[in-house]
């Protein structure tokens, strides 16, 4: 379970959802942008303090890109389809390295540390993967799966599994962000929720990696929150074992960098 968009305004919904997951003995992975859209985090802010406590009880903190305040792509954009929020989708390694250094420095100022990375829209360029490996990151979670980084190995290893959300399955093109796609009509929303639960159960029965993602703002909506919890319950009933992006649970297979 991932929560991009984690902000002070969404803290209550995140806390309530975390309590529900605790009751199921399921840890969460919380995606935090070092520089959020509304400015900056403060070290003593309630959200940051809450994240420290969640890490202490076994949740994972995931570095979610760097700068969500401005158009982050610049001249490296290769396609309008990528969108302005796919910050690391087209960066060369040296530019990705600079952003990772700045992101890590910002996290240090908050008293937080993470060697797990998830790019905005789950899209990471080959240069970003190189930069992550050189900077000592252990994990990169992208649209195709969870890449286990090893700077000394010829090949990384990957736990394959696409991202499931209330908006559908996130494909490699990243057209759907986690939890995006709008609420739509009640009938459409209900269909999406049933699809999420069915996909989680199906993946769990096959022994695959079940990745359920939600925007933090979604957790304030009872119907969306219920669908997400139903998906977690369906995956557990199908035999899935709880894990986080820091320690994914599945059989790994080789993947070239």
Q: Is pLDDT larger for residue 74 or for residue 198?
A: 198
Range 31-45 average pLDDT: 85
Range 46-63 average pLDDT: 95
Reported as a single tens digit per residue, the pLDDT across 117-176 is: 999 999 999 999 999 999 999 999 999 999 999 887 778 888 999 999 987 664 332 222
The answer to whether 78 and 88 are in contact (CB under 8 A) is no
C-alpha–C-alpha distance, residues 183 and 99, integer Å:
33
Angle at 124 between CA 118 and CA 126, to 5 degrees: 135
Angle at 88 between CA 209 and CA 245, to 5 degrees: 25
- Phi–psi pair at 95, nearest 5 degrees: -70, -40
Residue 30 pairs with which residues in a beta bridge? 61
Q: What is the pLDDT of residue 183?
A: 53
The answer to whether 156 and 255 are in contact (CB under 8 A) is yes
Range 66-71 average pLDDT: 67
Q: What is the pLDDT of residue 177?
A: 27
Q: At what angle do helices 186-205 and 222-237 cross, to 10 degrees?
A: 20
- 3 state DSSP class of 253: strand
Would you place residue 181 in the very low, low, confident or very high pLDDT band (cuts 50, 70, 90)?
A: very low
Does an H or E element contain 30, and which? strand 29-32
Q: Which segments of 137-210 does DSSP mark as H helices, in order? A: 186-205
Q: What is the pLDDT of residue 70?
A: 55
pTM: 0.84
Take residue 59 and report the two structure tokens written for it: 């949740």
Residues in the chain: 257
Would you place residue 35 in the very low, low, confident or very high pLDDT band (cuts 50, 70, 90)?
A: confident
Would you place residue 85 in the very low, low, confident or very high pLDDT band (cuts 50, 70, 90)?
A: low
Residue 254 pairs with which residues in a beta bridge? 157
Contacts 24+ apart (CB under 8 A), 51-54: 51/6, 51/112, 52/111, 52/112, 54/18, 54/28, 54/30
Tell whether the model's pLDDT for residue 61 goes beyond 70: yes
Take residue 197 and report the two structure tokens written for it: 């639960």
The answer to whether 143 and 162 are in contact (CB under 8 A) is yes
Q: Which domains does the chain have, with CATH numbers?
A: 8-163+210-224+241-255 (3.20.20)
Q: Is pLDDT larger for residue 3 or for residue 90?
A: 90
Q: What is the pLDDT of residue 5?
A: 53
Contacts 24+ apart (CB under 8 A), 41-44: 41/106, 41/110, 43/109, 43/110, 43/111
Range 92-108 average pLDDT: 96
Would you place residue 3 in the very low, low, confident or very high pLDDT band (cuts 50, 70, 90)?
A: low
Average pLDDT in the chain: 83
The answer to whether 87 and 73 are in contact (CB under 8 A) is yes
Reported as a single tens digit per residue, the pLDDT across 182-228 is: 456 778 888 999 999 999 999 999 999 999 999 888 888 899 999 99
- 3 state DSSP class of 93: helix
């Amino acid at each position: 379970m991932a929560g991009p968009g984690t902000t002070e305004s969404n803290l209550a919904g995140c806390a309530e959802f975390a309590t529900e997951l605790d009751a199921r003995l399921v840890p969460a992975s919380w995606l935090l942008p070092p520089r959020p859209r509304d400015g900056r985090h403060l070290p003593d802010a309630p959200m940051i303090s809450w994240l420290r406590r969640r890490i202490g009880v076994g949740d994972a903190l995931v570095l979610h890109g760097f700068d969500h305040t401005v158009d982050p792509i610049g001249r490296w954009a290769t396609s309008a389809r990528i969108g302005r929020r796919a910050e690391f989708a087209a960066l060369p390694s040296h530019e990705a390295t600079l952003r990772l250094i700045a992101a890590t420095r910002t996290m240090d100022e908050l008293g937080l540390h993470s060697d797990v990375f998830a790019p905005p829209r789950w899209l990471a360029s080959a240069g970003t993967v190189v930069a992550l490996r050189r900077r000592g990151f252990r994990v990169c979670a992208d649209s195709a799966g969870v890449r286990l980084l090893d700077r000394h190995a010829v090949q990384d290893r990957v736990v394959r599994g696409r991202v499931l959300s209330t908006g559908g399955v996130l494909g490699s093109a990243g057209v759907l962000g986690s939890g995006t796609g709008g609420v739509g009509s009640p009938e459409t929303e209900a269909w999406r929720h049933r699809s999420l639960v069915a996909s989680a159960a199906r993946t769990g029965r096959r022994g695959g990696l079940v990745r359920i993602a939600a925007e933090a703002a979604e957790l304030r909506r009872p119907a969306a929150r219920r669908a997400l919890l139903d998906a977690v319950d369906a995956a557990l009933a199908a035999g899935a074992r709880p894990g986080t992006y820091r320690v994914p649970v599945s059989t790994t297979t080789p993947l070239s960098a």
